[in-house]
Structure 1
Amino acid sequence: MELRHLVSFLSIAEELHFGRAAARLHLAQPSLSQHLQRLERSVGVALVARNSHEVRLTPAGETFRELARDIVTRAERAGQAARAAAAGRSGTVRVGYNFPAGQRILPATLAALNGRHPAIDVTMFEMRTGPQLAALSDGRLDVAMVYGKPTATDLTSRLLLRVPLVAVVGREHHWAGLDRVPFGALAGEPCVLFNRAQSSAMYDTIFSAAQTCGIRLTVAQEVDDPGATAILAAVKPVVGFASALRGRLADTRCAGPRTTSVPLIDPVPILDLHAVWLTKHGPLVDAFLECLPAGVEE
């Protein structure tokens, strides 16, 4: 049983006309008839019945058609996968991301990648900027989505998103329910921060805004996990920091720590979210990058 004979049979089954089926496959009609005869000899039953008035499938042909279509489809996919592998368009891309990237960038990117390169898989890891860049440097990630533009000469980046920071406080905090708070109001407020190595861009943006206001932040505690920051803010009179996207999630959360986000102004602390990759990279990374949003969102 040859694949070309299955293709010929399926064309006959769809057209129910030998002339049209032969033209569709760019075959002479006698060649098409020979393909069918050889297939029927191989299967051992008649698949097509025809007379001077009509062409129709036999009951055996009706049953055979669905399985034959599956075989041909699988063979085509196998060929596509082989060609994709030869061109470097199959395999796995390891992508790091943070919360805003997971909400605003990855869904559309993955949908586009699946449409253009279905043989490419993506493994995703949510982590802060510092750990992402370390994983990118030592080969555990292929693409990172991080705050700030890295200065390392072996890295290339693209700006994807501008993300405002908000204050995160418990529902009983005296800021809860306010429309906005000047950044300078943080003077004297105990804050929950994180080790700078976790996200230097976010850390520096917060302290730069404080310097602009002429205030000194009071760091009551360092917590590297954003979820733990929310827990502390929910139960203590402290102020945490988060992206506006994560803050909105806290506002609508039905279970878990009861916190709320408060926009900060004068100045509004803004973070730039970049996609980052090694300057020397392979075709899998190129395929992923082609599917990233082209413009900068805010």
Structure 2
Amino acid sequence: MDLRHVVSFLALADELHFGRAAARLHVSQPTLSQHLQRLERSIGVELVARTSHEVRLTAAGRVFRERAEDIMARVERAGEAARTAAAGRLGTVRVGYNLPAGQRVLPGTLARFNTRHPGADVEMVELRTGPQLAALADGRLDVAMVYGRPTTRGLRSRPLMRVPLVAVVGMAHRWAGRAEVPFRALDEETCILFHRDQSSAMYDAIQSAARTSGIELNVAEEVDDPGATAIIAAVRPVVGFASAVRGRLAGTAGGPRTTAVRLYDPVPILDLYAVWNADHEPLVAAFLRCLPEPGSLQP
């Protein structure tokens, strides 16, 4: 299969017009048609159906387009890796993290990695667990630092630390000023939660604690942005949830006027994991070797 033919097909799939696709690729329409015909012959199926009125992808074409886009993205990343090596740099590790990982895990890990591999780069992005795992699956991340141990085939993981959850309330809330409350006290409160696909482990830990306490949470709203949750909690008589690490930042200068309250009986606990694909580059393995030992970090 000639990659030029794949590029021509993808341009045609985007434009659904031979003239525009040919102009985009700076080739003639007959050349574009030849590329498509040769690609279809090599695969053995029709990818594009055309009449005098329209150009459309067949069912096979739509499936091929999805896979072909992934192939071309990988080719581009391979080229970038080669250019990086030619420039004398080792490459880049793309890391996703949440706030506890950013506060407790990454500083020491990056210090060790920079000392051992000064020619390498690390790109970082802060995301919740669900978006991190999606980015790991489609190749946008090399390492994810997430709540819960994923069971998806082809993923590897190691524990980093345990993180308790706390309640977050505004300064006018009746819990403000209290050090801790039993979880069952939430039976009398209105809560803010988030959609489960954002962080299934955190969502399940909260709901499991509610079941253990014999209560059902009264969820008034689902807000996926932790910052927005704090803003709402600051101005409304509701209870949000956060990691103890994020809770310690509540009410800091310039942020929403909130405070964290410890929960007990039970204490909702999350396990923070580093997760990566079983098939990974040597530089990713080098980064993983710089992670802290399990159990060595405090929340």
The TM-score, its normalising length taken from structure 2, stands at: 0.70
- Which amino acid is 1:248 matched to? R
**Hey, what does 2:263 align to over in structure 1?**
264
Unaligned runs of 5+ in 2: 1-81
Asked whether the 8 Å contact 1:165–1:269 carries over to 2, the reply is: yes
Asked whether the 8 Å contact 1:89–1:117 carries over to 2, the reply is: no
- Which amino acid is 1:255 matched to? G
- Which amino acid is 1:103 matched to? Q
Asked whether the 8 Å contact 1:89–1:283 carries over to 2, the reply is: no
- Which amino acid is 1:181 matched to? V
Q: How far apart are the structure 1 equivalents of 2:288 and 2:190?
A: 41
**Hey, what does 1:154 align to over in structure 2?**
154
- Which amino acid is 1:279 matched to? A
Q: How far apart are the structure 2 equivalents of 1:177 and 1:263?
A: 11
Moved over 6 A (4+): none
Asked whether the 8 Å contact 1:167–1:262 carries over to 2, the reply is: yes
Partner SS for 1:118:
coil
Structure 1 residue 89, shift from structure 2 partner: 8.1
**Hey, what does 2:113 align to over in structure 1?**
113
Q: How far apart are the structure 2 equivalents of 1:238 and 1:131?
A: 26
Partner SS for 1:112:
helix
Q: How far apart are the structure 1 equivalents of 2:282 and 2:119?
A: 13
The TM-score, its normalising length taken from structure 1, stands at: 0.70
1:1-298 equivalences under 5 Å are: 85=85, 90-251=90-251, 253-296=252-295, 297-298=297-298
Deviations 1:113-162 (A, max 9, x none): 00000111000000000000000000000000000000012100000010
Bigger radius of gyration: 1
Partner SS for 1:140:
coil
Deviations 1:192-235 (A, max 9, x none): 00000000000000000000001000001110000000000000
Cα RMSD of the aligned pairs, angstroms, is 1.7
Q: How far apart are the structure 1 equivalents of 2:294 and 2:183?
A: 29
Unaligned runs of 5+ in 1: 1-81
- Which amino acid is 2:162 matched to? R
Equivalent pairs, count = 214
Partner SS for 1:229:
helix
Q: How far apart are the structure 2 equivalents of 1:119 and 1:239?
A: 46
Q: Percent identity?
A: 71
